[in-house]
Amino acid sequence: MKKFLLVFCLLLIWQQAYSQGQLYIKVGEANVKKSLLAVPPFVFVGSPALVKNYKQVGQDLYNVFYNDLDVSSYFQFINQAAYLEDVASVGLRPKPGEPGGFDFANWSKIGAEFLVRTGFKVDGGDIVVDAYVYHVPQAKAILTKSYRGKLNEVRYVAHTYADDFIKALTGQKGWFRSKIAFISDKDGNRWKEVYVSDWDTFGVKKITNHRSITVSPAWSPDGKTVLYTAMSYHKQAKTNNHDLYSYEIYTGKRFLISWYKGINTGASFDPSGKFIYLTISQDGSPDLYRMTPDGKERTRLTNGPLNALNVEPAVSPDGKQIAFSSNRSGQPMIYIMNTDGTNVRRLTIAGKYNATPTWSPDGKRIAFSGWDSSHFDIFTMNPDGTRMERLTDAPKKNGKPSNNESPSFSPDGRQLLFISDRTGSKQIFMVNADGTRERRVTFDNYNYNSPRWLWKIPD
């Protein structure tokens, strides 16, 4: 009898844990079937007389949250004109538990799988958000949480809400609080500096002021450091040189790491953060090296052949392989090798110029820029060079092909940022990893380059 009770209790615990950890969206199936989602306007539950700008606060909160879920590509949104309830006149929770609450039947009739109900108020200098997410077929709440932040943190609160929403449905962390680094001429003149921002390019911060040309930003795995190369003037040699720097995000300190004569560029951290891989041309041809982050120890990994260029190293997520670009076959192509420089293999054969390889977070795909007859496009392939797919194809306004370059995977591997000149200037765009839904991220007349996504997501 005791054994039966023990087994029964274990089964009950397992069933409760399974219910609490239920996956409502299977990530692999979301590309085929998108879930129908209703996101009514957020409801202000405070006193309008005390908060003059509450409508703008609520709209900002809603827009950021909605855009995050839209970019995730998990959902098909139900048009608000199809709603059978006046969402402004019913509660955030369902009846009969809440008098005057909403009716699940009204959402089931229009096919909603998930329903978001959100209230917010302003308390002094803070915004307080009460969030509810429901699985309509089960008439069940799957996320109920309150958020609080400063009024100038509305975007961060919305991103956090969206992150929790995605995790509640998929079991995987959302990435909407993630950061990117990029190069831009936003500072004016002809200078190109390094900037960091939220993934959607809000909250931009310039982290370099070389009044020069910077290239190739790269994050450390912990997100505390950004590597980059800047054109620097060496007084003693009276010449410009491409030097490698590191910048500490939280201290603002900058360090010169590699300044060998020639180029010191294309740096990439390994997943452990113990080593940096980069191109140095001091010993003749531009070759790949492994270096400690302080620049004190270095090991040469490639040696030409025949003075070939070996550039743009990208370390695999497991730290075992490096994808890179080399012209050792005549035209720049994508190669792969072990991180000790052994077992070099060529991955791309077609095209005239293949460059800027980057790995997906799971290590199953490599993206790169490929020149195809007249322009660059973004491609992906398996790490052995098979199953190559083109992701971009949008033309310029005049109908001519656009150039699409410098891909970088999102933390979940479902999207890529890239640069496109289709609008005239080089802007940041996004595309799903299956090539669907190309969309613009930046909307100005500046030029951008080398967007790099930080995979580390805040807890």
Helix (H, G, I), strand (E, B) or coil at 318: coil
Cα 60 from chain centre? 21
Q: Is the dihedral of CA 221, 150, 60, 41 positive or negative?
A: positive
pLDDT in tens, 231-258: 999 888 888 999 999 999 999 999 999 9
Task: Check if the beta carbon of residue 383 is closer than 8 Å to that of residue 316.
Answer: yes
- pLDDT beyond 90 at 181: yes
- pLDDT beyond 90 at 276: yes
Contact residues for 62 (Cβ-Cβ < 8 A; gap 6+): 39, 41, 42, 118, 158
CA–CA dist 307, 351 (Å, integer): 22
What domains sit in the chain, N to C, each tagged with a CATH number? 14-170 (3.40.50.10070), 179-453 (2.120.10.30)
Q: For residue 31, name the pLDDT band (cuts at 50, 70, 90).
A: low
pTM of the model: 0.92
Instruction: Return the minimum-mean-pLDDT range out of 5-9, 259-263, 348-352.
Output: 5-9
Map tokens 């003693």 to a residue. 236
Dmax over Cα atoms in the chain, in whole Å?
89
- pLDDT beyond 80 at 7: no
- What is residue 15's predicted lDDT score, i.e. its pLDDT? 34
pLDDT in tens, 385-437: 999 999 999 999 999 999 999 999 999 999 999 999 999 999 999 999 999 99
In one-letter notation, the amino acid at residue 367 is A
Task: Tell me the pLDDT of the chain averaged across its residues.
Answer: 92
Q: Please report how many Cα atoms fall inside a 13 Å half-sphere around the Cα of residue 406, on the Cβ side.
A: 22
Q: Which of 21-25, 46-50, 354-358 has the highest mean pLDDT?
A: 354-358
In one-letter notation, the amino acid at residue 198 is D
Of 185, 189, 194, nearest in space to 214 by CA: 194
- What is residue 169's predicted lDDT score, i.e. its pLDDT? 95
Q: For residue 444, name the pLDDT band (cuts at 50, 70, 90).
A: very high
Of 356, 456, 382, 376, nearest in space to 421 by CA: 376
pLDDT in tens, 95-148: 999 999 999 999 999 999 999 999 999 988 899 999 999 999 999 999 999 999
Contacts 24+ apart (CB under 8 A), 421-428: 421/396, 422/394, 422/395, 422/396, 422/397, 423/396, 423/397, 424/396, 424/397, 428/182, 428/201
Helix (H, G, I), strand (E, B) or coil at 88: coil
CA–CA dist 405, 312 (Å, integer): 13
